[in-house]
Structure 1
Amino acid sequence: MSLIKKTVMMKKINFFKQQISRGGILLLALMLSIGLTSCQPDDTGGVEATGPPSITSVSLTARDSTTTVGIRQNSYTIYGENLATTQEVYFNDTEAYFNPTLVTNNVIITSIPEDAPYFDTSDELRVVTSEGVATTSFMIEQPAPRITSFAPLAASAGDIVTIQGEIFEGLESVRFGDVEAEIISSTTTEIQVAVPEGIVQAFLFVETAGGISQSTQSFGFKFVVYDDALAQSWWIGGWSGSEDFESTERVKRGDFSIKRTYEGGYSGFQIGNGGAIIDLADKQAVKVSIYGGNAINMVKLVLNGNYDAGAVITINQGEWNDFTIPLSQLGSPATLNEIVIQEFSGAAPSVIYIDDLGLI
């Protein structure tokens, strides 16, 4: 064979080798492409949504049993059909967050928003997908009420106490201890009630459809000096007058009051603590009710003999007068040793009646 023919033959062989090599590479690339495609994750759990969604049940994510009532900020699992293309979830028209990567054609995991309404609402769970909308009846449980404050801290029967707080919707009752109070008015954040008869000290309780809440501070006296009887270990002093600790002539509350007869101008009613030290660190004021008799219109309240820091009180005659005097206006004493109520009109003889005396 001539040299020219051999050269042509070798070129043809090399050409065919190149074509075979290129074909093998193309075939390998095609096989890898098919393999990678088949390994891609299926976000729909292997099933495609073929129609409008439907909801069959809802359960608390941490439990197996289903429910139709939910609590704010808790996680729930929604079960149904054709849920794979879920776009939005609503509780009572408030949009809820869900992780789309955890959605399958039959399950959605979501949580009730903190601000989802619970009172006077649609009571509806709504799921929106690319294929349609599904709804089901679902209530959000009302949280328990919260009491943040109330004023005044102490008051007489029939007086109005204002309670501040939140979640007071669906108000059912307000109690002073075990005694139910008359509700005068209420909003979602404020309640006004009349103080029931016979309350000396009690915690306040607010009850709604969501539960019962108790005030952190008690209403009324933190320490009672007199309510039908003088506190144990207290002594009786005074000058230019007399007193009856079981008078029934004028009574503010209970069975008795103290009748003080001033026999000379600027005479004094005096009582003192002969028992354990009474710390005033957690006390704010002295509360007392005084009935003014004839010929008297002013008295002076003094603690621990500090007459320079005493509070002069104006009294209306012929009626009960309720006074709350801050300790800061009485010299800010650290302890309570003695109480004086001095006649300060300069008129004698004169009479007052004292009831419900204590610290708040």
Structure 2
Amino acid sequence: MKHSYIIGILTLMIGSIILSCNKKDDYMAYTPGKGSPSITSVYTYSQYKYNDTTITTHSSYDTSGNLTTYTDTTIGNTLIGLDSATSYGNLGEYYVIHGKNLGSATEVYFNGTQAYFNRALGTDETIIVQIPSTTPYRKPRATDSLTVVNLYGKASYPFMIIAPAPTIQVSNGVSNYNFKNGSVDTLYGVGFASTDNLYIKGVSSSSASKGLMDQVDILSVNDSVMIVKFPDSKITQGNLLFAYTQTDGSKDTAISSTVFNNIDKAYQIFANDNTQNGWGSWSWDAAGISTDYAKSGTKTFSMKFSGGGWKVDGLRQGGGGASDGLAYSADWQYLVFWVKGGNKAQTAYIQWGDGGLGQNAVNDITIAANKWQFFKIPISSLKWNTTSTTWSDNKGSKLNTVGFFMKSNDDDEVYYFDDIMVVK
């Protein structure tokens, strides 16, 4: 009797094991294959749209034999259809691997970099996977291979990772957003090593810059850092346009979202290490030119805001009379400046107009503590004097006051300003 009872228990256990083996993959709605994997193809997971920019140079000679050249730019789109076979991929994008015995896959690699995937989203014939952003795309680290490992073996497939287009990183991507003839700037980002030529292209929103383009010298470059030298240019605001070679050898262009401002073509209030165009200090506290810190040159305009009281520091053109200052034009688009913060983050209010410096809580900005910060403020958003109107509502008035008001800060603060300018 005892012997029969033990046999019954063993039979029940074996049956449970068999049943559990049959059901362990039920959540995937398929049974994974038990052989080595194979890869037959790779497909795009969704539709992609690429902007292709073509630069064409035109040359002509006049009757005297003088050469004239100009360039134009054409932007077109390339569409890759949904679920299209491909042998190359982009960092961060999703792809579908097709083959056999993929349901038991445990690892996927692109150029030796492991990629995350969810088995529940695939089948025994497919894996949906994202190419990691850290995948190598340049030789010798880029082996142009896709590898799938399962419980029974592995399979490799030729697959190329496309180098990203030259791209300036969004945050802290440049050493300076302003340039002038001969100035040197450092760019930070990805994909720079494939750059063949570099240009600055005028932004279309600026009537003074639209349609203009000049070549920028590349002094040194690796894939993440590029040092450039700007030319003498009529452009007031421009994006950098990268002409580069794709991983597969094809030529392409990419344009930065970062906008650079030309100091030489701006209306300068403080720039090139000094006040300009008849502007000077009109400050309530200690203020003046300083060599303690600098951004674009060797000097800045320092402004002290002593703690425990309301202080206004800034600059004024001439005597601040009705005939003094910059005349209104719809072409003036931005007030720009660099400022190095003090001990704490503080709120300051920009005094903007022709009414002189005052304790006017308008046009507030937050100045971060102890670091350089760049401001580019649309003139259309700045309140004129103490009113709720803008400069465009006061076209007959000239701009002769640019200052900063701070309310009762606890600590003494000293701020260092550079490249205070109005830009077209």
What's the TM-score bracket when you normalise by the shorter of the two chains? Answer: 0.5 to 0.7
Instruction: Give, in whole Å, the separation in 1 of the partners of 2:17 and 2:108.
Output: 36
- In the alignment, is the contact (CA less than 8 A) between 1:301 and 1:311 conserved in 2? no
Match of 1:172 in 2: 196
Instruction: Give, in whole Å, the separation in 1 of the partners of 2:278 and 2:288.
Output: 4
Matched, 1:287 2:272: yes
Q: Structure 1, residues 181-220: CA drift from partner, whole Å, max 9, x if none?
A: 1212112333222322334523241424575242534231
| Number of positions where the alignment pairs a residue of Structure 1 with one of Structure 2 | 246
The letter for the 2-side match of 1:359 is M
Change (3 A) 1:325 1:81: same
Change (3 A) 1:77 1:334: same
Instruction: Give, in whole Å, the separation in 1 of the partners of 2:297 and 2:17.
Output: 90
The letter for the 2-side match of 1:186 is V
Of 142, 147, 160, the residue aligned with 2:163 is 142
- In the alignment, is the contact (CA less than 8 A) between 2:43 and 2:84 conserved in 1? yes
Of 199, 209, 220, the residue aligned with 1:185 is 220
Matches for 1:49-68 after TM superposition, within 5 Å: 49-50=34-35, 52-62=36-46, 63-68=82-87
The letter for the 2-side match of 1:212 is A
- In the alignment, is the contact (CA less than 8 A) between 1:160 and 1:192 conserved in 2? no
Matched, 1:154 2:189: no
Instruction: Give, in whole Å, the separation in 1 of the partners of 2:110 and 2:290.
Output: 60
Instruction: Give, in whole Å, the separation in 1 of the partners of 2:254 and 2:316.
Output: 36
TM-score (norm 1): 0.53
* Residue identity (%): 25
Aligned CA RMSD, in angstroms, stands at 4.7
Matched, 1:194 2:229: yes
Match of 1:6 in 2: none
Distance apart, 1:104 and its partner CA: 3.8
Instruction: Give, in whole Å, the separation in 2 of the partners of 1:300 and 1:36.
Output: 86
Matched, 1:79 2:101: no
- In the alignment, is the contact (CA less than 8 A) between 2:32 and 2:104 conserved in 1? no
The letter for the 2-side match of 1:164 is L
- In the alignment, is the contact (CA less than 8 A) between 1:287 and 1:358 conserved in 2? no
Q: Structure 1, residues 136-185: CA drift from partner, whole Å, max 9, x if none?
A: 121223334115124482332xx241222110231232212211112121
Match of 1:118 in 2: 137
What is the SS of the residue equivalent to 1:169? helix
Of 246, 260, 279, the residue aligned with 1:303 is 279
Instruction: Give, in whole Å, the separation in 2 of the partners of 1:165 and 1:56.
Output: 39
Instruction: Give, in whole Å, the separation in 2 of the partners of 1:92 and 1:284.
Output: 53
Distance apart, 1:109 and its partner CA: 2.2
Matched, 1:89 2:105: no
Matched, 1:203 2:263: no
Instruction: Give, in whole Å, the separation in 2 of the partners of 1:61 and 1:155.
Output: 45
Instruction: Give, in whole Å, the separation in 2 of the partners of 1:358 and 1:38.
Output: 73
Matches for 1:338-349 after TM superposition, within 5 Å: none
What is the SS of the residue equivalent to 1:149? coil
Change (3 A) 1:80 1:326: same
Matches for 1:192-341 after TM superposition, within 5 Å: 192-199=227-234, 201-207=236-242, 208-209=244-245, 212-214=254-256, 216-221=258-263, 224-225=266-267, 285-287=270-272, 303-304=279-280, 326-328=300-302, 333-334=314-315, 336-337=317-318
TM-score (norm 2): 0.46
- In the alignment, is the contact (CA less than 8 A) between 2:102 and 2:150 conserved in 1? yes
What is the SS of the residue equivalent to 1:125? strand
What is the SS of the residue equivalent to 2:143? coil
The letter for the 1-side match of 2:134 is D
Match of 1:107 in 2: 126
Which ranges of structure 1 fall in alignment gaps of 5 or more residues?
A: 1-17, 226-282, 290-298, 314-321, 340-356
What is the SS of the residue equivalent to 2:179? coil
Distance apart, 1:60 and its partner CA: 2.8
Give the greater-gyration-radius structure (CA): 1
